[in-house]
Structure 1
Amino acid sequence: MNRETALTAGAVGIVAVALLVAGVVPGVLADPTDRGPLPPGRVDIADGLAIQPNEVSGETTTLRVETRLSHRGNTAENVTVRFRAVDAESGFVETTETVALGNLTEDGEIPVRADLTVEREGGYRIETTVFRDSERVDSGRTTVSGLDALTPAYARTSVGFTDSDVLPPVAVSVADAGDERTTLRLGASLTNRGDEPSEDLRVTVVLRQAESNLVAGRTTVDVGTIRPGRTATVDAEVAVPSDYNYYVDAVLWKDDVMVDTARTTANLDPQRRISVDETTEDVELRVEDFESDDGRPQPTSEPEATTDTSSPGLGVAVAVVALLVSALVARRRSR
């Protein structure tokens, strides 16, 4: 066998062995187009966190939080979003909610929502964290405060006392003026600021004597239906002792829940006058005027005035001083 034949046979043998190995062991011959494992797609927060109260009770409120994720590129596996409410003052975690989105394959934005129930007081820091296959890839935060100002569902109503310079929330006039008791006519002005007729409401009016804060009269009246955008007046009468000044407090109730208040004054004392923003002063008060028997005032008895010319505790002192002065004068004259 010549040399050329031997080299040719060797080359053929090597090729045959290579083909045999490639057929038996897959992957030995690399695909020139194979670039290895594909990198995961990009996932991040595309929009800021939106927060709005969803449910409000007496102690807690449920916040509906929403954000949008942006996905670009290859498949992003096992994507989750964690929402967390942290107390703004103490730094304690109040509640946590996690939303699982699974694998993201399509390019675009995905809305993500969750409900966080927190105490209805103070403020919170709402944190948003995005994970891709347990790896943190993006995060954001925002704050919310003043939750105690939210009105619970049971106390919501579109009706309230009228706030106008022309029409006061509570008007007071004299219906009957007597020597001992005066009957006041009270008119509470209510406005429906909503889009639906008013529900069952009632108004309680309390009159307190200005200087003592004693309750002199009280009455409660039902409120009829008030159409949307309309104003109605609820009338009541209360009899109180004459010659006193009173604070008139009106309370609007919805199903035993106080939903609005208003205040005015009634000046029946001709010597003194009060206003809503005025401080009180100490004056003589006869409590008997506010006691009643079958609705009639009790007579007030005043002690007879007496005159006492003596000065207890000063007589002995004055006598001693007089003796000392007389002794000094006599001594000077003897000289």
Structure 2
Amino acid sequence: MRREALLAGGIALLALTMAVAAAAVPGVLSEPTEDVRPSHLDVGEQYLDAHDVSGQTVTLSLSSRLTHRGGPAENVTVVTRAIDAQSGLVETTATRSLGTVEGSRDVPFTTNVTVEREGDYDIETVVYADGRRVTQRVRSVRNVGALTPAYARSSVTFHRFENTATPLRAISYRIDTVANNRTTLNVTAYLTNTGDDPEGGLTLRLRARQADSNVIADSAALSVGQIRPGRTRTVSTTLTVPDGYNYWLDGILQSDGVIVGTESAPANLDPTETLTANETRRDVGFQSGDFAERETEIERDRPEATTAGGSGPGFTVLAALVAVLVAVAALTRRDL
């Protein structure tokens, strides 16, 4: 009887302990919940745009999306660096905090970096989660110096003749008179307003530049009246130059004292030598989308999945059963 009494008392004490623990720590007797997956972050495709272009600097606006999967990612920070492609030096750095990212979704973000308006740059985007670098992406931009500053922009340009069987230029000429070894040229320039609003207040300077010496033989400045959207205006003047030489006819378009456009055309007055315009010359201009992106994913630590009851204090059902068996075995040995 003594053995049965001790066994009953041990079981009662264990049951009382489990009841108190269940009341003090909710969920202590629950079964393990399903595994919690680690978070996973990726930087999506990036888009670059140029804002606030001045004579010395340009602000590059980088837009992208941060793709998240798995469990919550805490303290997410995006660091963007503009790195000089030649020297490797960091030109500027911008940091943006996204806080905690949860759920399977895309988080859009935009970062602006201001750089010198010259040279080439690598734009590096690095993502940190809780102080740990998890992924990065690099995009390159080239020939930033080709961007036109805001003060030098105009919707009026030298006309571009397209879809013509015969090559035509925005500056043309005809010989007006020849006398005393001097030739008077009647020079005409074609100017088109490619914008949506009327524009005026422009000045056109036409000059005859001797091809071999670059000496300006004659020049004239003309006031250009207002040009309506989508319309072309012809501006003409006469230039008198020494006979027997070849010349470049230069057109320089200015707005409020700032050069906003230039154009040149050959004038062949030397019968023994002919100037040919360089038809293959072209402006490369600002380039961004044509450069391949490089994506690097940092090696992540992959911890094993944790459970709700795996690290906290308390008993599971299996632990309670083991405790009962141990108590019974101890009492039996003691009686023997």
- TM-score under structure 2 normalisation? 0.69
**What CA RMSD, in Å, does the superposition of the two structures yield over aligned residues?**
3.2
Distance 1:187 1:201 in 2: 16
Measured against aligned partners, the alpha-carbon deviations of 1:111-155 in whole angstroms (never above 9, x if no partner) come to 011011112222222222221111222222222212122222222
Q: Who is 2:29 aligned against?
A: 31
Indicate whether 1:275 and 2:297 are aligned: no
Distance 2:175 2:102 in 1: 78
Distance 2:172 2:226 in 1: 20
Give the counterpart letter for 1:83 in structure 2.
T
Measured against aligned partners, the alpha-carbon deviations of 1:20-45 in whole angstroms (never above 9, x if no partner) come to 86389x44982323559x85752412
Contact kept? 1:40, 1:75, Cα under 8 Å: no
Q: Relative to structure 1, is the Cα distance of residues 74 and 184 closer, same or farther in structure 2, using a 3 angstrom cutoff?
A: same
Q: Who is 2:321 aligned against?
A: none
Contact kept? 2:210, 2:245, Cα under 8 Å: yes
Distance 2:265 2:18 in 1: 104
Between stretches 78-87 and 250-259, larger displacement belongs to 250-259
The structure, 1 or 2, with the larger RCO (C-alpha pairs under 8 Å, 6+ apart) is 2
Q: Percent identity?
A: 40
Contact kept? 1:247, 1:276, Cα under 8 Å: no
Measured against aligned partners, the alpha-carbon deviations of 1:273-294 in whole angstroms (never above 9, x if no partner) come to 542459xxxxxxxxxxxxxxxx
Q: Tell me the CA shift for residue 16 of structure 1.
A: 7.2
Contact kept? 2:22, 2:28, Cα under 8 Å: no
Unaligned 5+ runs, structure 2: 279-336
Contact kept? 1:43, 1:72, Cα under 8 Å: yes
Distance 1:212 1:13 in 2: 114
Distance 1:268 1:15 in 2: 115
Distance 2:220 2:128 in 1: 62
Rg larger in structure? 1
Give the counterpart letter for 1:173 in structure 2.
R
Unaligned 5+ runs, structure 1: 279-335
Q: Tell me the CA shift for residue 79 of structure 1.
A: 1.2
Give the counterpart letter for 2:175 in structure 1.
V
Which residues of 2 match residues 22-61 of structure 1 at below 5 A?
Answer: 22=21, 26-27=24-25, 30-33=28-31, 39=36, 42-45=39-42, 47-61=44-58
Q: Who is 1:136 aligned against?
A: 133
Give the counterpart letter for 1:155 in structure 2.
A
Distance 1:266 1:5 in 2: 123
Indicate whether 1:3 and 2:2 are aligned: yes
Q: Who is 1:299 aligned against?
A: none
Distance 2:264 2:8 in 1: 115
Measured against aligned partners, the alpha-carbon deviations of 1:188-234 in whole angstroms (never above 9, x if no partner) come to 11223333333432211122334443322111112222233322211
Q: Tell me the CA shift for residue 18 of structure 1.
A: 2.1
Contact kept? 1:49, 1:141, Cα under 8 Å: no
Distance 1:141 1:265 in 2: 45
Residue-pair matches, total = 274
Distance 1:13 1:268 in 2: 120
- TM-score under structure 1 normalisation? 0.70
Q: Who is 1:207 aligned against?
A: 208
